[in-house]
Amino acid sequence: MIIEQIYTGCLAQGAYYIESDGDAVVIDPLREIEPYLQRASRNNARIKYVFETHFHADFVSGHVDLANATGATIVYGPTAKPGFKAHVAYDGESFRVGKLSFTLLHTPGHTMESACYLLKDENGKDIALFSGDTLFIGDVGRPDLAQKAADMTQEELAGLLYESIQTQILPLNNDIIVYPAHGAGSACGKNMSKETTDTLGHQKESNYALQAKTKEQFVKEVTTGLMPPPSYFPLNVMLNKQGYENITEIIKRGTQALTAEIFETVASETGALVLDTRNAEVFAKGFIPNSINIGIDGNFAPWVGALIPDIKQQILIVTDAGMEAEVVTRLARVGYDHSIGYLKGGYEAWKLAGKESDSIQSLSSDEFVKVASQDPGIAILDVRKKSEYEAEHIIGAENAPLDYINNSMQVVDKNKTYYVHCAGGYRSMIFISILKARGFDNLVNVSGGFNDIKKTGKLHISEYVCPSTLL
């Protein structure tokens, strides 16, 4: 028996390859299917099933392409209505994979079709639970994504999730290993652990959502503090539900090499977004005017989804040499299938062609501290999440979260100089590049971010104080 978790950090997503006696199953595959095909080929195994735990919102699954390539059957839980050939299973239905078996457990709440897959060994002993977005390590799935489709409130969905967990999961043995679909960093939950597996018994003891004594308490715990989901989530759901273009064609189209002259012409004629994926500090030194920076070295795909509202937006790519296919692939993972080419030779080719360039002023944390010490009245923008800001921030800094940039930019005066920071410099450069493309020219980046600023010990930091300590 082989159980392999294939974890993709930039999406905080776990796919699974399980093999037994020449048969294999893939659970919640990524869109690029070649790694799964190679795994099966190495062991002369056939992929018999593609198990989907639900219609994913945060990424485009590889279920359709993988089934087409292997003849595998796509399996969904009850109530699913896919727009392609698939098997909609009933609660408790069993699937044989070599000497193993999987039992589908219908667990509505995160979505109505949500399902977990209980793995049993050849002796019928429960071994593992592939819990999708129903149960995470340290959390449960958010219950607000399927409200419109289910014609239910988030509280009603949370109530369903409570019943699913109580009846389908908590009665299982404590020694079962839980394999979730996501970990820390995913927007599909609010309190996920960095750990990507755990025993069910430990989760019963440590997962805050499993401590609730009543349904009412569970609903309150799970729905309190939920931030609005990224705007691209419903669009990914539709792609996963209806099907999509083959990723090979998408990569072929997106990796067309364009000279600086052609790149400029295409950008002008199509209105394509110029997306520069280089390191933030490299980008700051020189870039194509009106391009935006979302570095491939960070949480690239989720930020693309959060900040580029039109999933059908045509995109032109500027990146480091050799990274073109990786960028197009990561865009496609979250449904951005309309890359139309990249700048051959990168930004250096643009400069050599004598094209217009732009830059962003960037200060180290030490340089920033010196400026702030000399002029305590300078304007500081902290673009971290509200929760990060509330935990601790520079006294006098204004919170303008990148997550909600269209609202955040309303506090920015185009005629005023602002010093912008996040935690480490990744998000602040994204923020500044977007605003600069919209005509905001007086933004200075603090490259080391809050983490480096705090280390200097030279600025006053406001820290959160629990109200109970004030009594």
Q: Give the confidence band of 464 by pLDDT, cuts at 50, 70, 90.
A: low
Count CB neighbours of 275 within 10 A.
25
Could you tell me what percent of the chain has a pLDDT over 70? Answer: 98
Q: Residues with Cβ < 8 Å from 411, sequence gap 6 or more?
A: 381, 398, 400
pLDDT band for 191, please (50, 70, 90 cuts): confident
Q: What is the pLDDT of residues 387-417, one digit of tens each?
A: 899 999 999 999 999 999 999 999 999 999 9
Residues 6+ apart with CB under 8 A from 357: 286, 287, 288, 289, 350, 351
Of the candidate ranges 4-18, 136-150, 457-471, the one whose mean pLDDT is the lowest: 457-471
The position carrying tokens 């993972």 is 333
Within 8 A by CB and 6+ apart from 79, the residues are: 88, 108, 112, 113
pLDDT band at residue 467 using 50, 70 and 90 as cut-offs: very low
Please tell me the predicted confidence (pLDDT) of residue 463. 65
Q: Are the C-beta atoms of residues 14 and 179 closer than 8 Å to each other? A: yes
HEC secondary structure over the chain: CEEEEEEECCCCEEEEEEEECCEEEEECCCCCCHHHHHHHHHCCCEEEEEECCCCCCCCCCCHHHHHHHHCCEEEECCCCCCCCCCEECCCCCEEEECCEEEEEEECCCCCCCCEEEEEECCCCCEEEEEEECCEECCEECCCCCCHHHHCCCHHHHHHHHHHHHHHHHCCCCCCCEEEECECCCCCCCCCCCCCCCEEHHHHHHHCHHHHCCCHHHHHHHHHCCCCCCCCCHHHHHHHHHHCCCCHHHHHHHHCCEECHHHHHHHHHHHCCEEEECCCHHHHHHCECCCCEECCCCCCHHHHHHHHCCCCCCCEEEECCCCCHHHHHHHHHHCCCCCEEEEECCHHHHHHHCCCCCECCCEECHHHHHHHHHHCCCCEEEECCCHHHHHHEEECCCEECCHHHHHHHHHHCCCCCCEEEECCCCHHHHHHHHHHHHCCCCCEEEECCHHHHHHHHCCCCEEECCCHHHHC
Over residues 211-222, mean pLDDT: 94
Label the pairing between strands 73-76 and 94-97.
unpaired
pLDDT (0 to 100) of residue 471:
34
What is the Cα gyration radius of the chain? 24
Task: Report CA-CA distances (Å) from 163 to 65, 80, 215.
Answer: 34, 19, 8
d(CA 66, CA 37): 8
pTM of structure: 0.90
List Cα–Cα distances, 349 to 260, 316, 320, 339, 345, in angstroms.
Answer: 7, 15, 12, 20, 5
Residue 326's identity, in one-letter code, is E
The pLDDT, as a whole number, for residue 173 is: 97
Separation between Cα atoms, residue 373 and residue 277, nearest integer Å: 34
**Over pLDDT 90: what percentage of the chain?**
86
Domains (ranges, CATH) in the chain? 2-235 (3.60.15.10), 245-352 (3.40.250.10), 362-468 (3.40.250.10)
Alpha-carbon span 116 to 464, nearest angstrom: 38
pLDDT at 420: 97
Provide the token pair at 148.
């419109």
Task: Give the Å distances, CA to CA, from 137 to 79, 82, 299, 310.
Answer: 26, 28, 20, 32
What's the whole-number average pLDDT of the chain?
94
* Burial class, 25, CB count within 10 angstroms (exposed 0-12 / middle 13-18 / buried 19+): buried
> In the numeric block, which tokens belong to residue 208?
């805050």
Question: For 198-211, what is each residue's pLDDT tens digit?
Answer: 999 999 999 999 99
Give mean pLDDT, residues 178-205: 91
- 192 versus 351: which is more confidently predicted? 351
| C-alpha span between 114 and 116 (Å, rounded) | 7
